Structure 1
Amino acid sequence: MQDDPSQTRIEIVSRLIEGEYPKYEDVIPQSCATTATVKRSEFLNNVRAASIFTGKTNDVRVCIDPERRLVEFVARNAEVGESASEMQAEGAGTRTEIAFNWRFLSEGISHMKSEYIEIGVNGEDGPALIKPKKPEGYLYVVMPIKA
Protein backbone atom coordinates (compact mmCIF):
# COMPACT_ATOMS: atom_id res chain seq x y z
CA MET A 1 0.00 0.00 0.00
CA GLN A 2 1.43 3.36 -1.01
CA ASP A 3 0.71 6.75 0.44
CA ASP A 4 -1.03 8.87 -2.19
CA PRO A 5 -1.10 12.61 -1.30
CA SER A 6 -3.96 13.17 -3.74
CA GLN A 7 -6.10 10.86 -1.61
CA THR A 8 -5.45 12.79 1.61
CA ARG A 9 -8.66 14.02 3.15
CA ILE A 10 -8.82 17.07 5.37
CA GLU A 11 -11.88 18.03 7.35
CA ILE A 12 -12.23 21.53 8.77
CA VAL A 13 -14.80 22.24 11.43
CA SER A 14 -15.68 25.76 12.51
CA ARG A 15 -18.34 27.48 14.53
CA LEU A 16 -19.52 31.04 14.18
CA ILE A 17 -19.78 32.69 17.57
CA GLU A 18 -22.27 35.50 17.62
CA GLY A 19 -21.43 38.74 19.29
CA GLU A 20 -19.75 42.04 18.74
CA TYR A 21 -16.01 42.07 18.44
CA PRO A 22 -13.69 45.06 18.59
CA LYS A 23 -12.10 46.20 15.38
CA TYR A 24 -8.66 44.63 15.21
CA GLU A 25 -7.19 48.06 14.44
CA ASP A 26 -8.21 49.20 17.94
CA VAL A 27 -6.04 46.49 19.52
CA ILE A 28 -2.86 47.57 17.69
CA PRO A 29 -1.03 50.37 19.54
CA GLN A 30 -0.78 53.46 17.32
CA SER A 31 2.21 54.81 19.25
CA CYS A 32 4.51 53.44 21.94
CA ALA A 33 6.00 55.26 24.92
CA THR A 34 9.06 52.99 24.99
CA THR A 35 10.75 51.32 22.02
CA ALA A 36 13.79 49.14 21.45
CA THR A 37 15.40 47.96 18.24
CA VAL A 38 17.22 44.65 18.68
CA LYS A 39 18.78 41.88 16.66
CA ARG A 40 15.98 39.34 16.19
CA SER A 41 18.06 36.16 16.54
CA GLU A 42 19.81 37.37 19.70
CA PHE A 43 16.49 38.43 21.25
CA LEU A 44 15.00 34.99 20.55
CA ASN A 45 18.08 33.23 21.97
CA ASN A 46 17.81 35.23 25.21
CA VAL A 47 14.08 34.49 25.55
CA ARG A 48 14.62 30.78 24.92
CA ALA A 49 17.53 30.59 27.36
CA ALA A 50 15.44 32.28 30.06
CA SER A 51 12.52 29.93 29.35
CA ILE A 52 14.39 27.06 31.02
CA PHE A 53 13.96 28.87 34.35
CA THR A 54 10.29 29.83 34.05
CA GLY A 55 7.54 28.77 36.40
CA LYS A 56 4.00 27.58 35.75
CA THR A 57 3.05 30.73 33.86
CA ASN A 58 6.09 30.54 31.53
CA ASP A 59 6.88 34.13 32.44
CA VAL A 60 10.00 35.92 31.31
CA ARG A 61 10.46 39.51 32.49
CA VAL A 62 11.77 41.79 29.76
CA CYS A 63 13.17 45.17 30.78
CA ILE A 64 13.73 47.76 28.08
CA ASP A 65 16.20 50.37 29.33
CA PRO A 66 16.74 52.98 26.58
CA GLU A 67 19.08 55.10 28.70
CA ARG A 68 21.51 52.20 29.21
CA ARG A 69 20.83 50.92 25.65
CA LEU A 70 19.94 47.47 26.99
CA VAL A 71 17.18 44.90 27.03
CA GLU A 72 17.35 42.59 30.05
CA PHE A 73 15.74 39.15 30.45
CA VAL A 74 14.98 37.60 33.85
CA ALA A 75 13.25 34.34 34.76
CA ARG A 76 12.96 32.75 38.21
CA ASN A 77 11.77 29.40 39.43
CA ALA A 78 12.18 28.27 43.05
CA GLU A 79 12.79 24.68 41.94
CA VAL A 80 15.22 25.32 39.09
CA GLY A 81 16.92 28.64 39.78
CA GLU A 82 17.27 31.98 38.07
CA SER A 83 18.39 33.28 34.71
CA ALA A 84 19.45 36.83 33.89
CA SER A 85 20.88 38.06 30.61
CA GLU A 86 21.03 41.26 28.60
CA MET A 87 21.64 42.48 25.09
CA GLN A 88 22.42 45.75 23.37
CA ALA A 89 19.53 47.78 21.98
CA GLU A 90 18.77 51.14 20.44
CA GLY A 91 15.78 52.65 22.14
CA ALA A 92 13.72 55.61 23.20
CA GLY A 93 11.40 56.37 26.08
CA THR A 94 11.50 55.36 29.72
CA ARG A 95 12.71 52.18 31.40
CA THR A 96 9.89 49.64 31.29
CA GLU A 97 9.73 46.14 32.73
CA ILE A 98 7.06 43.81 31.38
CA ALA A 99 6.36 40.08 31.80
CA PHE A 100 5.45 37.83 28.88
CA ASN A 101 4.64 34.18 28.39
CA TRP A 102 7.86 33.22 26.60
CA ARG A 103 6.04 30.93 24.17
CA PHE A 104 3.70 33.67 22.96
CA LEU A 105 6.54 36.18 22.78
CA SER A 106 8.83 33.99 20.71
CA GLU A 107 6.13 32.51 18.47
CA GLY A 108 5.47 35.62 16.39
CA ILE A 109 9.06 36.83 16.33
CA SER A 110 10.33 33.51 15.02
CA HIS A 111 8.29 33.97 11.83
CA MET A 112 9.85 37.34 11.00
CA LYS A 113 12.65 37.40 8.47
CA SER A 114 14.20 40.80 9.21
CA GLU A 115 17.56 40.81 10.99
CA TYR A 116 16.34 43.55 13.36
CA ILE A 117 12.98 44.01 15.07
CA GLU A 118 11.39 46.91 16.89
CA ILE A 119 9.54 46.32 20.15
CA GLY A 120 7.18 48.99 21.41
CA VAL A 121 5.39 49.06 24.77
CA ASN A 122 3.13 51.39 26.73
CA GLY A 123 3.77 50.39 30.32
CA GLU A 124 3.63 46.96 31.91
CA ASP A 125 -0.08 46.32 31.33
CA GLY A 126 -0.58 47.23 27.68
CA PRO A 127 0.05 45.17 24.57
CA ALA A 128 3.50 45.09 23.01
CA LEU A 129 3.80 45.85 19.31
CA ILE A 130 6.60 43.94 17.60
CA LYS A 131 7.47 44.51 13.97
CA PRO A 132 10.38 43.93 11.62
CA LYS A 133 12.72 46.88 11.18
CA LYS A 134 12.44 46.41 7.41
CA PRO A 135 8.73 46.39 6.56
CA GLU A 136 7.45 42.90 5.73
CA GLY A 137 3.75 43.65 6.08
CA TYR A 138 3.80 41.82 9.41
CA LEU A 139 2.93 43.12 12.88
CA TYR A 140 2.80 41.06 16.04
CA VAL A 141 0.80 42.16 19.07
CA VAL A 142 1.36 40.24 22.30
CA MET A 143 -0.23 40.86 25.68
CA PRO A 144 1.80 40.83 28.89
CA ILE A 145 0.97 38.59 31.82
CA LYS A 146 0.72 39.32 35.53
CA ALA A 147 3.70 37.61 37.11
Structure 2
Amino acid sequence: MKFSINQSELQNALMVVLKGVSTRSTLPILSGILLDTQGDRLTLQTTDLELSIQYSVAALVEEEGKAVVPGKLFSEIVKNLPDAAVHVEADEDAALITCDASSFSIKALNHEDFPGFPHVDVMQRIEIPFSQFSSMVRRVARVVSKDESRAILTGVLVTLEEGRLKMVATDSYRLAITEADLPDASADEFQAVISGSFLSEIASLSLGDSALSLALAENQIVVTCGDTVFINRRIEGNFPNYKQLLPDGYATRAKIDVDRLVSAVKRTSLLGSSDAPVRFDLNAASQTVQLSAAAQDVGSAQETIGCEIEGEDTEIAFNYSFVLSGLAAVATEKTYLEVQSSLKPGIFRADEPENYLYLVMPVRIV
Protein backbone atom coordinates (compact mmCIF):
# COMPACT_ATOMS: atom_id res chain seq x y z
CA MET A 1 0.00 0.00 0.00
CA LYS A 2 1.05 3.57 -0.58
CA PHE A 3 -0.73 6.77 0.44
CA SER A 4 -0.23 10.38 1.48
CA ILE A 5 -2.20 12.43 4.00
CA ASN A 6 -1.77 15.65 5.98
CA GLN A 7 -0.11 15.10 9.37
CA SER A 8 -2.89 16.82 11.37
CA GLU A 9 -5.63 14.76 9.71
CA LEU A 10 -3.75 11.52 10.32
CA GLN A 11 -3.06 12.49 13.93
CA ASN A 12 -6.78 13.23 14.50
CA ALA A 13 -7.69 9.84 13.09
CA LEU A 14 -5.13 8.10 15.30
CA MET A 15 -6.39 9.88 18.44
CA VAL A 16 -9.81 8.32 17.82
CA VAL A 17 -8.82 4.75 16.95
CA LEU A 18 -6.03 4.50 19.52
CA LYS A 19 -8.73 4.11 22.20
CA GLY A 20 -9.44 0.66 20.78
CA VAL A 21 -5.84 -0.61 20.85
CA SER A 22 -5.35 -3.41 23.35
CA THR A 23 -2.74 -2.79 26.03
CA ARG A 24 -3.10 -6.03 27.97
CA SER A 25 -3.71 -8.75 25.39
CA THR A 26 -1.23 -11.57 24.82
CA LEU A 27 -2.04 -11.30 21.10
CA PRO A 28 0.48 -8.86 19.52
CA ILE A 29 -1.85 -8.17 16.57
CA LEU A 30 -4.35 -6.47 18.90
CA SER A 31 -1.77 -3.80 19.77
CA GLY A 32 -1.72 -2.76 16.13
CA ILE A 33 -3.73 -0.47 13.86
CA LEU A 34 -5.06 -1.85 10.59
CA LEU A 35 -4.52 0.57 7.69
CA ASP A 36 -6.75 -0.09 4.69
CA THR A 37 -6.61 2.02 1.51
CA GLN A 38 -9.36 1.83 -1.08
CA GLY A 39 -10.26 4.39 -3.72
CA ASP A 40 -9.54 7.80 -2.19
CA ARG A 41 -10.08 6.72 1.43
CA LEU A 42 -7.86 5.55 4.24
CA THR A 43 -9.66 3.46 6.86
CA LEU A 44 -8.04 2.85 10.25
CA GLN A 45 -9.29 0.08 12.50
CA THR A 46 -8.51 -1.14 16.03
CA THR A 47 -9.98 -3.70 18.41
CA ASP A 48 -9.34 -5.27 21.80
CA LEU A 49 -12.10 -7.86 21.10
CA GLU A 50 -14.46 -5.92 23.40
CA LEU A 51 -14.32 -2.54 21.68
CA SER A 52 -13.85 -2.07 17.94
CA ILE A 53 -13.29 1.31 16.25
CA GLN A 54 -13.25 2.19 12.56
CA TYR A 55 -12.36 5.63 11.23
CA SER A 56 -12.38 6.66 7.56
CA VAL A 57 -10.64 9.74 6.15
CA ALA A 58 -9.82 11.11 2.68
CA ALA A 59 -6.27 10.43 1.48
CA LEU A 60 -4.22 10.45 -1.71
CA VAL A 61 -4.01 6.72 -2.40
CA GLU A 62 -1.31 5.66 -4.86
CA GLU A 63 -1.54 1.95 -4.19
CA GLU A 64 -4.42 0.12 -2.51
CA GLY A 65 -3.72 -2.45 0.17
CA LYS A 66 -3.70 -3.33 3.86
CA ALA A 67 -1.11 -3.27 6.59
CA VAL A 68 -0.98 -3.46 10.39
CA VAL A 69 1.42 -1.12 12.20
CA PRO A 70 2.24 -1.01 15.93
CA GLY A 71 -0.44 1.32 17.31
CA LYS A 72 1.36 3.27 20.04
CA LEU A 73 4.65 3.61 18.10
CA PHE A 74 2.97 4.69 14.86
CA SER A 75 0.87 7.23 16.75
CA GLU A 76 3.90 8.69 18.56
CA ILE A 77 5.80 9.03 15.30
CA VAL A 78 2.94 10.85 13.56
CA LYS A 79 2.34 13.06 16.61
CA ASN A 80 5.93 14.33 16.47
CA LEU A 81 6.08 14.94 12.72
CA PRO A 82 5.82 18.48 11.31
CA ASP A 83 2.46 19.68 9.95
CA ALA A 84 3.09 18.60 6.38
CA ALA A 85 2.21 15.73 4.05
CA VAL A 86 2.93 12.29 5.50
CA HIS A 87 3.80 9.52 3.04
CA VAL A 88 3.30 5.92 4.12
CA GLU A 89 4.43 2.90 2.14
CA ALA A 90 3.81 -0.47 3.75
CA ASP A 91 3.60 -4.20 3.18
CA GLU A 92 3.20 -7.15 5.56
CA ASP A 93 6.80 -6.84 6.78
CA ALA A 94 7.54 -3.14 7.24
CA ALA A 95 6.18 0.38 6.95
CA LEU A 96 8.15 3.39 5.70
CA ILE A 97 6.94 6.75 7.00
CA THR A 98 8.36 9.96 5.55
CA CYS A 99 7.46 13.59 6.22
CA ASP A 100 9.52 16.58 5.18
CA ALA A 101 13.10 15.68 6.23
CA SER A 102 12.06 12.87 8.62
CA SER A 103 11.98 9.19 7.76
CA PHE A 104 11.06 6.14 9.85
CA SER A 105 11.06 2.45 9.04
CA ILE A 106 9.10 0.23 11.45
CA LYS A 107 8.19 -3.43 11.45
CA ALA A 108 4.64 -4.33 10.43
CA LEU A 109 2.35 -7.23 11.34
CA ASN A 110 0.47 -9.56 9.02
CA HIS A 111 -2.89 -7.96 8.24
CA GLU A 112 -4.46 -11.38 7.66
CA ASP A 113 -4.16 -12.05 11.41
CA PHE A 114 -6.15 -8.92 12.29
CA PRO A 115 -9.75 -9.65 13.40
CA GLY A 116 -12.44 -8.60 10.95
CA PHE A 117 -14.61 -5.62 11.87
CA PRO A 118 -17.83 -6.93 13.48
CA HIS A 119 -20.94 -7.02 11.32
CA VAL A 120 -23.97 -6.74 13.56
CA ASP A 121 -27.69 -6.89 12.88
CA VAL A 122 -29.13 -3.71 14.30
CA MET A 123 -32.55 -4.00 15.96
CA GLN A 124 -33.21 -0.39 17.05
CA ARG A 125 -31.57 2.91 16.21
CA ILE A 126 -31.88 6.49 17.43
CA GLU A 127 -30.16 9.70 16.32
CA ILE A 128 -29.15 12.61 18.53
CA PRO A 129 -26.96 15.70 17.94
CA PHE A 130 -23.45 14.92 19.14
CA SER A 131 -23.28 18.03 21.32
CA GLN A 132 -26.47 17.00 23.13
CA PHE A 133 -25.26 13.41 23.53
CA SER A 134 -21.89 14.58 24.85
CA SER A 135 -23.53 16.91 27.39
CA MET A 136 -25.81 14.17 28.70
CA VAL A 137 -22.99 11.64 29.04
CA ARG A 138 -20.76 14.07 30.95
CA ARG A 139 -23.51 14.63 33.51
CA VAL A 140 -24.07 10.99 34.39
CA ALA A 141 -20.84 9.13 33.55
CA ARG A 142 -19.02 10.73 36.51
CA VAL A 143 -21.30 8.72 38.81
CA VAL A 144 -20.66 5.22 37.44
CA SER A 145 -18.96 2.79 39.79
CA LYS A 146 -15.28 1.88 39.39
CA ASP A 147 -15.89 -1.48 41.08
CA GLU A 148 -15.59 -4.12 38.34
CA SER A 149 -17.06 -6.77 40.67
CA ARG A 150 -20.46 -5.11 40.14
CA ALA A 151 -20.26 -4.70 36.38
CA ILE A 152 -23.83 -3.42 35.98
CA LEU A 153 -22.96 -0.31 38.05
CA THR A 154 -20.03 0.53 35.75
CA GLY A 155 -22.58 1.21 33.02
CA VAL A 156 -25.12 3.88 32.12
CA LEU A 157 -28.74 2.89 31.60
CA VAL A 158 -29.89 4.48 28.33
CA THR A 159 -33.62 4.36 27.56
CA LEU A 160 -36.00 5.89 25.05
CA GLU A 161 -39.64 6.10 26.06
CA GLU A 162 -42.30 8.09 24.22
CA GLY A 163 -39.74 10.20 22.38
CA ARG A 164 -37.74 11.01 25.52
CA LEU A 165 -34.14 9.90 25.92
CA LYS A 166 -32.96 9.23 29.48
CA MET A 167 -29.52 8.38 30.88
CA VAL A 168 -29.14 7.03 34.42
CA ALA A 169 -26.03 6.10 36.42
CA THR A 170 -25.41 5.11 40.03
CA ASP A 171 -22.62 3.78 42.24
CA SER A 172 -25.12 2.96 45.04
CA TYR A 173 -24.10 6.10 46.99
CA ARG A 174 -25.42 8.61 44.48
CA LEU A 175 -27.60 8.66 41.41
CA ALA A 176 -27.62 10.93 38.34
CA ILE A 177 -30.44 11.24 35.81
CA THR A 178 -30.61 13.44 32.72
CA GLU A 179 -33.32 13.56 30.06
CA ALA A 180 -33.87 15.14 26.66
CA ASP A 181 -36.69 15.18 24.12
CA LEU A 182 -36.09 13.34 20.85
CA PRO A 183 -39.39 14.02 19.07
CA ASP A 184 -38.15 12.61 15.75
CA ALA A 185 -36.96 9.32 17.22
CA SER A 186 -38.39 6.43 15.22
CA ALA A 187 -37.58 3.65 17.70
CA ASP A 188 -40.59 2.76 19.83
CA GLU A 189 -38.55 1.62 22.79
CA PHE A 190 -34.84 1.59 23.46
CA GLN A 191 -33.05 0.23 26.51
CA ALA A 192 -29.46 -0.79 27.12
CA VAL A 193 -26.78 -0.62 29.79
CA ILE A 194 -23.64 0.79 28.16
CA SER A 195 -20.16 1.05 29.64
CA GLY A 196 -19.67 4.46 31.23
CA SER A 197 -16.01 4.63 30.19
CA PHE A 198 -16.98 3.79 26.59
CA LEU A 199 -19.55 6.60 26.49
CA SER A 200 -17.09 9.02 28.10
CA GLU A 201 -14.46 8.24 25.46
CA ILE A 202 -16.93 9.08 22.69
CA ALA A 203 -18.20 12.20 24.47
CA SER A 204 -14.62 13.50 24.74
CA LEU A 205 -14.14 13.54 20.96
CA SER A 206 -14.36 16.74 18.90
CA LEU A 207 -17.16 15.88 16.50
CA GLY A 208 -18.96 19.23 16.35
CA ASP A 209 -22.68 19.35 15.69
CA SER A 210 -22.87 16.24 13.54
CA ALA A 211 -25.60 13.70 14.25
CA LEU A 212 -24.69 10.65 16.30
CA SER A 213 -26.43 7.32 15.77
CA LEU A 214 -26.92 4.93 18.68
CA ALA A 215 -28.00 1.44 17.61
CA LEU A 216 -28.74 -1.77 19.52
CA ALA A 217 -27.81 -5.25 18.42
CA GLU A 218 -28.48 -8.42 20.40
CA ASN A 219 -25.48 -8.03 22.72
CA GLN A 220 -23.67 -5.03 21.28
CA ILE A 221 -24.03 -1.28 20.94
CA VAL A 222 -23.09 0.46 17.68
CA VAL A 223 -22.29 4.18 17.75
CA THR A 224 -21.80 5.97 14.42
CA CYS A 225 -20.80 9.60 13.96
CA GLY A 226 -19.77 10.74 10.52
CA ASP A 227 -17.09 8.38 9.22
CA THR A 228 -16.41 6.87 12.63
CA VAL A 229 -17.96 3.63 13.93
CA PHE A 230 -17.64 2.29 17.49
CA ILE A 231 -18.86 -1.17 18.47
CA ASN A 232 -18.83 -2.31 22.09
CA ARG A 233 -20.45 -5.05 24.14
CA ARG A 234 -23.57 -4.19 26.08
CA ILE A 235 -23.40 -4.87 29.81
CA GLU A 236 -25.64 -7.78 30.70
CA GLY A 237 -27.71 -7.85 33.87
CA ASN A 238 -30.53 -6.00 35.59
CA PHE A 239 -29.94 -2.34 36.36
CA PRO A 240 -31.04 -1.39 39.90
CA ASN A 241 -34.61 -0.16 40.30
CA TYR A 242 -33.59 3.46 40.82
CA LYS A 243 -37.16 4.77 40.66
CA GLN A 244 -37.91 3.45 44.14
CA LEU A 245 -35.24 5.83 45.51
CA LEU A 246 -36.95 8.90 44.08
CA PRO A 247 -39.31 10.48 46.64
CA ASP A 248 -42.79 11.69 45.76
CA GLY A 249 -42.19 15.03 47.43
CA TYR A 250 -40.06 16.97 49.89
CA ALA A 251 -40.31 18.60 53.32
CA THR A 252 -37.88 21.39 52.46
CA ARG A 253 -36.80 22.90 49.16
CA ALA A 254 -34.06 25.50 48.71
CA LYS A 255 -33.16 27.39 45.54
CA ILE A 256 -29.46 28.22 45.70
CA ASP A 257 -26.93 29.95 43.42
CA VAL A 258 -24.69 27.19 42.05
CA ASP A 259 -21.40 29.13 41.98
CA ARG A 260 -21.86 30.42 45.53
CA LEU A 261 -22.74 26.95 46.77
CA VAL A 262 -19.73 25.34 45.08
CA SER A 263 -17.38 27.96 46.54
CA ALA A 264 -18.90 27.59 50.01
CA VAL A 265 -18.62 23.78 49.95
CA LYS A 266 -14.97 24.00 48.85
CA ARG A 267 -14.10 26.47 51.62
CA THR A 268 -16.02 24.63 54.31
CA SER A 269 -14.41 21.32 53.44
CA LEU A 270 -10.86 22.66 53.80
CA LEU A 271 -10.70 21.70 57.47
CA GLY A 272 -12.15 18.24 56.98
CA SER A 273 -10.55 15.03 55.82
CA SER A 274 -11.21 13.65 52.36
CA ASP A 275 -14.34 11.82 53.52
CA ALA A 276 -15.55 14.34 56.11
CA PRO A 277 -19.18 15.39 55.70
CA VAL A 278 -20.42 18.92 55.12
CA ARG A 279 -23.56 19.76 57.07
CA PHE A 280 -26.38 21.78 55.53
CA ASP A 281 -28.66 23.67 57.96
CA LEU A 282 -31.62 25.10 56.05
CA ASN A 283 -33.52 27.86 57.84
CA ALA A 284 -36.80 29.00 56.29
CA ALA A 285 -37.21 32.01 58.61
CA SER A 286 -33.90 33.61 57.65
CA GLN A 287 -33.93 32.21 54.08
CA THR A 288 -30.38 30.95 54.50
CA VAL A 289 -28.43 27.73 54.38
CA GLN A 290 -25.48 27.35 56.73
CA LEU A 291 -22.70 24.99 55.71
CA SER A 292 -20.38 23.63 58.37
CA ALA A 293 -17.68 21.03 58.82
CA ALA A 294 -15.49 19.99 61.71
CA ALA A 295 -12.48 17.76 62.19
CA GLN A 296 -11.25 16.57 65.56
CA ASP A 297 -7.91 18.11 66.59
CA VAL A 298 -8.03 20.40 63.54
CA GLY A 299 -10.91 22.85 63.90
CA SER A 300 -14.20 23.80 62.31
CA ALA A 301 -15.57 26.02 59.56
CA GLN A 302 -18.94 27.42 58.66
CA GLU A 303 -20.40 29.68 56.00
CA THR A 304 -23.89 31.09 55.49
CA ILE A 305 -25.37 31.89 52.08
CA GLY A 306 -28.73 33.38 51.21
CA CYS A 307 -31.27 31.36 49.26
CA GLU A 308 -34.98 30.85 48.70
CA ILE A 309 -36.44 28.21 51.04
CA GLU A 310 -39.90 26.73 51.25
CA GLY A 311 -41.00 24.18 53.84
CA GLU A 312 -39.59 23.19 57.20
CA ASP A 313 -36.27 23.97 58.85
CA THR A 314 -34.07 20.93 58.42
CA GLU A 315 -30.48 19.72 58.47
CA ILE A 316 -28.66 17.10 56.45
CA ALA A 317 -25.03 16.15 55.82
CA PHE A 318 -23.30 14.88 52.66
CA ASN A 319 -19.88 13.72 51.57
CA TYR A 320 -18.53 17.00 50.20
CA SER A 321 -16.78 15.46 47.16
CA PHE A 322 -20.07 13.87 46.10
CA VAL A 323 -21.79 17.27 46.32
CA LEU A 324 -19.10 18.97 44.26
CA SER A 325 -19.19 16.22 41.64
CA GLY A 326 -22.93 16.61 41.20
CA LEU A 327 -22.88 20.41 41.13
CA ALA A 328 -20.17 20.34 38.45
CA ALA A 329 -22.76 18.84 36.09
CA VAL A 330 -25.34 21.59 36.69
CA ALA A 331 -25.32 23.96 33.72
CA THR A 332 -27.83 26.46 35.14
CA GLU A 333 -27.18 29.38 37.50
CA LYS A 334 -29.49 28.01 40.20
CA THR A 335 -30.02 24.56 41.66
CA TYR A 336 -32.75 23.17 43.89
CA LEU A 337 -31.91 21.14 46.97
CA GLU A 338 -34.83 18.98 48.07
CA VAL A 339 -34.77 17.25 51.46
CA GLN A 340 -37.25 14.92 53.17
CA SER A 341 -35.28 14.30 56.36
CA SER A 342 -31.70 14.00 57.59
CA LEU A 343 -31.80 10.22 57.06
CA LYS A 344 -33.21 10.17 53.52
CA PRO A 345 -31.39 11.02 50.28
CA GLY A 346 -31.07 14.65 49.27
CA ILE A 347 -31.77 15.68 45.69
CA PHE A 348 -30.11 18.43 43.68
CA ARG A 349 -32.09 19.50 40.59
CA ALA A 350 -30.93 21.84 37.86
CA ASP A 351 -33.13 24.87 37.28
CA GLU A 352 -35.23 25.13 34.11
CA PRO A 353 -34.78 24.47 31.24
CA GLU A 354 -32.21 21.78 32.09
CA ASN A 355 -33.46 18.34 33.07
CA TYR A 356 -30.86 16.96 35.45
CA LEU A 357 -31.32 15.27 38.84
CA TYR A 358 -28.58 14.24 41.26
CA LEU A 359 -29.43 12.18 44.32
CA VAL A 360 -26.94 11.79 47.19
CA MET A 361 -27.18 9.47 50.15
CA PRO A 362 -26.82 11.40 53.44
CA VAL A 363 -24.16 11.00 56.10
CA ARG A 364 -25.54 10.46 59.59
CA ILE A 365 -25.33 13.61 61.71
CA VAL A 366 -23.66 12.91 65.07
Using structure 2 for the length normalisation, give the TM-score.
Answer: 0.37
Shift of the 16–34 alpha-carbon distance from structure 1 to 2, 3 Å rule, reads closer
Residue in 2 aligned with 1:52? 270
Shift of the 141–79 alpha-carbon distance from structure 1 to 2, 3 Å rule, reads same
Q: Is the 8 A contact 2:152 2:239 kept in 1?
A: no
Matches within 5 A, 1:80-99: 80-99=298-317
d(CA) in 1 for partners of 2:341, 2:353: 25
Which string of whole-angstrom CA distances, capped at 9 and with x for unpartnered residues, describes residues 77-129 of structure 1? Answer: 12321111000011111111111100001111111111011100011000111
1:105 is paired with a residue whose SS is helix
Q: 1:20 Cα deviation (Å)? A: 6.6
Residue in 2 aligned with 1:27? 245
Residue in 2 aligned with 1:75? 293
Q: Is the 8 A contact 1:51 1:60 kept in 2?
A: yes
Q: Is the 8 A contact 1:63 1:96 kept in 2?
A: yes
The answer to whether structure 1 residue 39 and structure 2 residue 267 are counterparts is no
Residue in 1 aligned with 2:361? 143
Tell me which of 311, 314, 334 is aligned to 1:116: 334
Residue in 1 aligned with 2:26? none
Shift of the 7–56 alpha-carbon distance from structure 1 to 2, 3 Å rule, reads closer
Tell me which of 8, 15, 35 is aligned to 2:18: 8
Q: Sequence identity, in percent?
A: 25
Count how many residue pairs are aligned between Structure 1 and Structure 2.
146
d(CA) in 1 for partners of 2:152, 2:289: 41
Residue in 1 aligned with 2:124? none
Which structure's CA Rg is the greater one? 2
Tell me which of 39, 54, 64 is aligned to 2:282: 64
Q: Which moved more, 1:52-61 or 1:10-19?
A: 10-19
1:9 is paired with a residue whose SS is helix
Q: 1:9 Cα deviation (Å)? A: 3.3
Residue in 2 aligned with 1:102? 320
Q: 1:23 Cα deviation (Å)? A: 2.1
Read off the aligned partner of 1:24 and give its amino acid letter: Y
Q: Which moved more, 1:26-35 or 1:11-20?
A: 11-20
d(CA) in 2 for partners of 1:139, 1:34: 16
Read off the aligned partner of 1:9 and give its amino acid letter: K
**Which segments of 5 or more consecutive residues in structure 1 lack a partner in the other structure?**
none
Read off the aligned partner of 2:273 and give its amino acid letter: G
Q: 1:40 Cα deviation (Å)? A: 0.5
Which string of whole-angstrom CA distances, capped at 9 and with x for unpartnered residues, describes residues 47-93 of structure 1? Answer: 11111111363211111111210000001112321111000011111
**Which segments of 5 or more consecutive residues in structure 2 lack a partner in the other structure?**
1-9, 21-47, 52-147, 154-235
Once superposed, what is the RMSD of the aligned Cα atoms?
Answer: 2.5
Using structure 1 for the length normalisation, give the TM-score.
Answer: 0.87
Residue in 2 aligned with 1:129? 347
Q: Is the 8 A contact 2:281 2:315 kept in 1?
A: yes
